[in-house]
């Protein structure tokens, strides 16, 4: 089994459960408010570890109470987080509204995540990357750090998987040289600079990413499944029917399942099918880290499915 290196954000999530999101100027009553560890980087690293993957993680927290809590939480999982940095900036925080339908809206304060520098990537992360079969990143750290990760993976001949969210301010050309980029439908529209509607337009957008020097593209389409494009190969993988209660971290769970399989040398279609199961289990539970499936959950996946 190959080791996976994750470099990315770590946040404290403040989750508000509501029947629906408020309109402009409207105040509504939350049913519950919860505080959970999160951040796309930490979520993915813990998800990989729960799936049985040897995982090394690098991120940055503040020298504050949230930072203390997040570092203590990481100790609960078999993740090598020994290199995580601390900054004078406040720990990153995400404010999440979760509707009764399971849909969510999120406002993120980056905080200490923006303290990660290209020098940190060259000095702290290089040994982690060299020792890994696969590298997974997201877009919640600084642009300069991400460019350095892309450059370093190219120099070392390492497969880099970019979970392309949040995509605001990015374009397909920014990821030239990456082995794989995986946006959702909205993120893909942002990367190609136009609104995409329907499968053919999404397929066209994915092919546009390939033209920018990216080798493989997987578009995450929620309940519509996922779409893979590379060269002349196109694969559609359907989603699994489950009762969704909270979509927070579903994409992180999908990416962890995908990277687990790819690090083990699995072919792309069964890897996407496994990843879809991981994402499906996550939406049946509330929270970020608390929703992430274990290898045992996936082995007994039938119990999560809606039987038709």
pLDDT at position 128: 98
pLDDT at position 1: 62
Exposed / middle / buried, residue 40 (Cβ in 10 Å: 0-12, 13-18, 19+): buried
Place of tokens 């980029």: 181
CA distance 97 to 33: 9
CA distance 58 to 118: 13
Q: What is the pLDDT along the chain (308 residues), one digit of tens a residue?
A: 689 999 999 999 998 999 999 999 999 999 999 898 999 999 999 999 999 999 999 999 999 999 999 999 999 999 999 999 999 999 999 898 989 887 888 888 999 999 999 999 999 999 999 999 999 999 999 999 999 999 999 999 999 999 999 999 999 999 999 999 999 999 999 999 999 999 999 999 999 999 999 999 999 999 999 999 999 999 999 999 999 888 888 999 999 999 999 999 999 999 999 999 999 999 999 878 889 999 999 999 988 887 65
Q: Contact 209/191 with Cβ under 8 angstroms? A: yes
Q: How far is CA 271 from CA 3, 49, 149, 170, in A?
A: 16, 17, 24, 27
pLDDT at position 307: 62
- Answer left, alpha or beta for residue 217, where phi above 0 means left and psi between -120 and 50 means alpha: beta
Count the neighbouring beta carbons within 10 Å of the beta carbon of residue 106. 15
Among this protein's residues, is 302 annotated catalytic? no
Backbone angles phi, psi at 17, to 5 degrees: -95, 125
Say what the pTM is. Answer: 0.92
* Annotated active-site residue in 64, 163, 252, 297: 252
């Amino acid at each position: 089994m190959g080791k996976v290196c994750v470099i990315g954000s770590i946040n404290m999530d403040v989750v508000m459960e509501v029947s629906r999101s408020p309109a402009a100027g409207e105040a509504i009553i939350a049913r519950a408010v919860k505080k959970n560890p999160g951040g796309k980087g930490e979520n993915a690293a813990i998800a990989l570890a729960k799936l049985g993957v040897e995982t090394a993680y690098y991120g940055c927290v503040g020298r504050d109470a949230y930072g203390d809590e997040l570092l203590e939480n990481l100790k609960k999982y078999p993740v090598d987080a020994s290199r995580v940095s601390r900054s004078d900036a406040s720990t990153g925080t995400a404010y999440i509204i979760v509707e009764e339908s399971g849909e969510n809206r999120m406002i993120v304060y980056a905080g200490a995540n923006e303290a990660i520098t290209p020098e940190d990537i060259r000095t702290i992360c290089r040994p982690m990357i060299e020792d890994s079969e696969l590298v997974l990143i997201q877009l919640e750290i600084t642009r300069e750090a991400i460019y350095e990760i892309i450059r370093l993976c190219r120099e070392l001949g390492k497969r880099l998987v970019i979970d392309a969210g949040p995509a605001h301010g990015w374009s397909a050309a920014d990821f030239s040289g990456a082995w794989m980029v995986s946006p959702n439908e909205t993120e893909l529209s942002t990367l190609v600079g136009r609104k995409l509607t329907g499968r053919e337009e999404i397929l066209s957008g994915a092919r546009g990413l390939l033209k920018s020097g990216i080798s493989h593209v997987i578009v995450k389409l929620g309940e519509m499944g996922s779409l893979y494009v590379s060269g002349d190969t196109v694969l559609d993988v359907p989603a699994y029917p489950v009762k969704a209660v909270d979509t927070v971290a579903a994409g992180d769970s999908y990416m962890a399942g995908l990277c687990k399989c790819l690090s083990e040398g699995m072919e792309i279609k069964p890897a996407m099918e496994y990843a879809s199961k991981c994402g499906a289990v996550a939406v049946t539970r509330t929270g970020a880290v608390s929703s992430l499936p274990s290898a045992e959950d996936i082995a007994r996946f039938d119990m999560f499915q809606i039987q038709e």
